[in-house]
Structure formats: C-alpha cells, structure tokens
Chains A and B, each alone.
Chain A
C-alpha cells in the first residue's frame, strides 16, 4: 500500500516533558485512521507537526511526499485541517467565510463562490448559506468546517476532535459524511478523538496514543492482541454470597494459590466473593475444577475477551 503520511521517530519536547515521544506511524492512501487517546496525550501536537505549524524537536514527517518543516505551504495546499473547536468570522455569512478560504487558496471570487455553494449543499447547509456564521449552532459550524476543508480539494484531511460537543445524531451524520468522502473521493482521513465508539464506527485502523507514545496500532480486532499479549482472556467467577463457612477466608487463599499455578494465568484478583483471572489462553475448565474442588460454592463463571472498553479503562482513565 502506498503511504501518504510517514512519521519516523517524531519527538516534540516542551522543556523536559515529552509531548510526543519517538512516534513511528504510516498511514496509507485512502485510509480512515483514528488517533485515539486521552486529553493531553499528544494528538494535537502530532497533528500540528504534520502541518508544519509546530517544529519537531527531532524526527521526520512526510506528508504527500513533502516535508512540512521546509515546505509548509506546499503541504497546506494538499492537506485540509479542521482544528479543534473551529472558529469562523462571525460577522460574515457561511458562504462568505468559505469564499474567503477559497480565495486564499488561489481561486477567483467567482470560482470560490461557485465551489462554496456546491460544498454547502453537500454538507447540508444550503438553506443557511446567507446566515451569519456567528448564528450557526455547534453542529452546523462543524459541518461548515468540513466544507471549508474541502475548498482546496485536499488529498488528506486532518480533523482534530471533530465530534466534540455535537449531539449524538449530529455525530452520526458527521461521521457518515467523513466516511463517504474517503470512500468516494479516495481522500485520506486522519482524525483524533477520545471517543472510543465513534472511532470504532468509522475507522479502518486505529492508533492508541498515551502520553506521547503509540501503544498500539491496527484494526480494532488486532488491538487487543497487541495490548494484552499475555493476558487476552479474562475469566470472572462469582461465588454464592449467601454461603458463609467459618473457613471461607482460608479456603479463598488456598484456592487463589492453586489458581495462580495453572499454566498461562497472569494474575488472580479476589474482590469480596468475586474472582478475576487474566490469562493468555482459555483456562475456564481448570478454574472451575479448582474452585469447586476447594469447597467453594461457585455461582457463575464467565469468560470474556478484552474489548475497547477494557483498553479504555486501563489506559485512558488514569
């Protein structure tokens, strides 16, 4: 696959804090890539470096074969960027705002207006084209932002937290719009978010970004394998809470020791009357045998795989 964005060893340091720490990432042409991470993980900084709006401390970025540090204007000709919480000139109408962007991209006023009208229709703002941008709702502003990005016929569009502050139906329509663009016109889309499910819905690949490092990268299904290489299974056993024998405490301890001896088990935790066992393979039958054999009353035993939820709780909410 042809790579349109190539990042090698990219580092950005603020004083002695690494905002982005030796990042390597390749994004293919026409791909929808989600950059997933909590606030302050370095997503925005990475995006700014791709556009040449911030200089990297070290490392290399190539976007459409160009170096944003030395050819920022060429890069900006090909890359559309929708900043987080985008703003427009409030006293100009939506159409005028887009026309201005078009003119900055070298179109004449007539060409820019024609193009803007087409794009406004496409993002569903045709009725509101003459309304002042200051009167637009958040969702409308975001859609106007997409139209603004498309004014330059970009090869790549980069969206920074595009779904922030839009209501659920708006988000759905918005994501639909983005995927349509990518599929129909072969535009590469890179967007950052801290909303798991939105990323899951539309992205071909996802990169998980935590404190300046890329923890994992790939399709949603391959992520859990990468992140939880030796503990991709999670077995949860619940004991009957009503049965309390005098030797319960010792029984529990003994059982825990036995469980830990099963090959493949990484960790055993006990909370009240609940066992949590993480392991690299399915060890449910052995677990059941040990618990029952230890004289405990097993109520239920469930086996689940790690999903994005676990990824989220584990890495993001620290």
Chain B
C-alpha cells in the first residue's frame, strides 16, 4: 500500500512537471536539505567527476596488477589464506597496489573536495544570503563536512566491493567473515583518513579568501608530511645514531624516538593502521625487543587484536581529524559575515 501511495505522488509530480521524486512532500530538516544540496553539487561538478575517474582507473589498474600476481601466488605457494586481503596489498611490481594508491590519492581527494567549501560561497555572495535564513550558522559547515564524508564513503565502499567482486570472480569462493570484516574496517578508516584532509582543507577554505591559496596550502601540508617531514626526522635522528657496539637499551631507545617522531604524520598513522588491518600477521608497528618477541608463535591475529595493535594510531588519526574540524569551526563561528567583502 505504501508503495502505491509513493507511486501516486510520483505520478502526480510528473504530471505537474514540478519534480520527479517521491520526496517532494517530505519536510526535511534544513540540515539535511543542505547536505542533499552539497552532495548534488559534488556529483554535478566536473572536478569530482574527474577525481572519481582517476580513482576508478587506478583501482582497475591496481586490481589488474594484483590479480595477475595473486593468481601466481595462489597456485604456486599454496598458502591460500587471506586471498582477498592480498588483493588490496599485493602487486606484480608494475603498478602500486590498491592500498598504496588510496593512501596516495586520498589526501588529494580530501583536499579537492573541501578547498573551496566556504570561500567560494563567500566570493559568490551566497554565504550571507544563506546565513540570513533561519538556520544555525554551524549547519553550513557541518553540512559541507557530512556531504563530503558521505561522498567519499560511497566511493570507497563501492571500490572495495568492486575489488571483492573481482576477487570472487577469479577465485569462485566468497571471502571469509574475517576477511570481509577487515576490508570493511579498512575502508572505514580510509574514509576517516580522507575526512582528515577534507577537514584540513575546509579549515583553509574558511581561513583564506582565495580558493587557490587554500588549495595550495592543503597541498603544501600534504607535501610537507609526505616528503619533507621524513627528511627532517632523518636529519635529526642521524646525529644521535648509536654506534654498532652500543648497548641494546640505547639502540632500543633510539628506535623508540625515531618511531615517536613520525607518529605525528597523518599518512604514517594511516599506513600503520592499514598494514595492521590488511596484513593479519603484523604484531607491532613499532620497534620490539628480543624479549618481547621470544616465545611468540608466528601466526595470524584476529581482527580485534589487530585493532588493539594500532589503537593509538587510530586514536591519533581521529584526534587530528577532530582538531582540524574544531579549528575550522572556531574560525567560522566567530567570523563576521559580510556580502562578498
């Protein structure tokens, strides 16, 4: 019966030539109206279409590379466990694997979805008009964030399922529950990682009037963390490098510091989370002493334990994401909104 009613509404709407979906009579809260509009904007803009295209192409490429290799792995080495996870991590060397691609393109995706979120509204003169409507000011910022995250989530989940589907096709065997859960959790954290870059670029878009400036700032931060920061860490730690004959505590301490210094990098945090999730044999992401390893039986960890291994990294990544959002929020809420000026 319910279906019938919707059909009726749908037909009426068509007839009147006003709208063509069944939700025309629904009173959405203004927040979801805004989210809806933002999502529609993402799907209608050339920018997002190009990005989706790039990411889809790389996925297909990575998938091809890993499938060729996986076939070999699967037939020769007989260790057929976690075949589906290997689809995400292995490649024949011609192209990087899926997860490398995602950790490389994720920031780009996040930055490009958010860098003109607020400043373009201001430059077009729509910001003051929207803020004169009876909606709380933060709705605008929240709607932009939620819409961005939803778009990214939609994209990443469909890509992950695409990879699983391709694996299914090749193997003729469904993934185990463990594998499936790992892939879902991995995809979830990829979305969180992109959300971090999205928030960062939304923050820049609140801060800088020119979209070009805000895009460049986002890219500068990204380059800093992927290229320059590791170099700086290297430079600093090189000076303290213990000699070959130094006591083990010293070496351990040195490794610990080196490890701690790279933990502020969002890309490092993400790659640690990814490796723990996609490679079940990973037992630690930091340095371990011989005593800690002694007596351990090599084997796979269950998902819960893998999550425990990278729990600090997960917390760190979420904290960085929230921090960026907080800054954007603070700057935006205290801003005086004038038309275009």
Residues of A at the B interface (CB closer than 8 Å) are: 44, 48, 51, 53-54, 73-74, 76-77, 79-91, 100-101, 103-110, 113-114, 145, 148, 152, 160
* Interface stretch (choices B65-73, B101-109, B214-222, B332-340): B332-340
Q: Known contacts A44-B338, A48-B336; is A83 also within 8 Å of B125 by CB?
A: yes
Contact A87-B27, Cβ < 8 Å, known A48-B336, A160-B339:
no
Contacts of A88 in B (CB 8 A): 124, 126, 129
Q: Is the CB of A83 within 8 A of B129?
A: yes
Residues of A within 8 A of B136 (CB): 73
Q: Is B308 an interface residue (CB 8 A)?
A: no
Q: Contact: A109 with B19, CB < 8 Å?
A: yes
Inter-chain pairs besides A85-B340, A86-B129, 13 sampled, C-beta below 8 Å? A73-B134, A74-B134, A76-B132, A76-B135, A81-B129, A85-B339, A87-B124, A87-B339, A88-B129, A103-B33, A109-B24, A113-B24, A160-B339
Given contacts A83-B132, A86-B339, A100-B37, contact A106 B126 (CB under 8 A): no
Which residue of chain A has its CB nearest to the CB of B40? A92
A107 to B37, CA, bound (A): 15
The answer to whether A83 touches B128, judged by C-beta atoms less than 8 angstroms apart, is: yes
- Do B134 and A76 touch (CB < 8 A)? yes
* Inter-chain contact A106/B30, CB cutoff 8 Å: yes
Please indicate the chain B residues that have their CB under 8 angstroms from the CB of A86 in the complex.
Answer: 125, 129, 339
Interface size grouping (class) on chain B: 20 to 34
- Judge whether B126 and A89 touch: CB under 8 Å: yes
* B residues 23-43 in Cβ contact with A at 8 Å: 23-28, 30, 33-34, 37, 41
Residue of B13, B125, B340 near A110 (CB, 8 A) is B13
In the bound complex, do residue A83 and residue B27 qualify as a contact, i.e. CB atoms below 8 Å apart? no
Residues of B within 8 A of A (CB): 13, 18-19, 23-28, 30, 33-34, 37, 41, 44, 124-126, 128-136, 336-340
Contact B124 A109 (CB under 8 A): no
| Top 3 A-B pairs, shortest CB-CB distance | A87-B125, A83-B339, A81-B132
Task: Tell me the bound Cα distance from A248 to B125 in angstroms.
Answer: 62
With A87-B125, A89-B126 already in contact, the answer to whether A104 and B19 are too (CB < 8 A) is no
A-B contact pairs, 25 of them (CB 8 A): A44-B339, A48-B336, A48-B337, A48-B338, A53-B336, A54-B336, A76-B132, A76-B133, A76-B134, A76-B135, A83-B132, A86-B339, A101-B129, A101-B133, A104-B34, A104-B133, A104-B134, A106-B27, A106-B30, A106-B134, A108-B26, A108-B27, A110-B25, A113-B18, A148-B129
Q: In the complex, which residues of chain A have a beta carbon less than 8 angstroms from the beta carbon of B44?
A: 91
Q: CB-CB < 8 A to B135: which residues of A?
A: 73, 76, 104
Q: Which residues of A contact B124 (CB under 8 A)?
A: 87-90
Residues on A with beta carbons closer than 8 Å to the beta carbon of B25: 108-110
Residues of A within 8 Å of B41, CB to CB, are 91
The residue in B28, B33, B34, B44 that gathers the most chain A C-beta atoms within 10 A of its C-beta is B33
A105 touches B133 (CB 8 A): yes
User: Hey, which chain B residues are within 8 Å of A90, CB to CB?
Assistant: 124
A107 to B19, CA, bound (A): 15
Taking a contact as CB atoms under 8 Å apart, the answer to whether A53 and B132 are in contact is yes
Chain B residues near A113 (CB-CB < 8 A): 18-19, 24
What CA separation (Å) do A51 and B41 show in the bound complex? 28
State the CA gap A91–B41 with chains docked (Å).
9
Q: With a CB–CB cut-off of 8 A, which chain A residues contact B338?
A: 44, 48
Scoring A44, A82, A86, A91 by chain B CB atoms within 10 A of each residue's CB, the highest score goes to A86
CA distance A81 to B231 in the complex (A): 53
Nearest CB of B to A54, in Å: 5
Establish whether residues A51 and B132, one from each chain, have CB atoms under 8 Å apart when the complex forms: yes
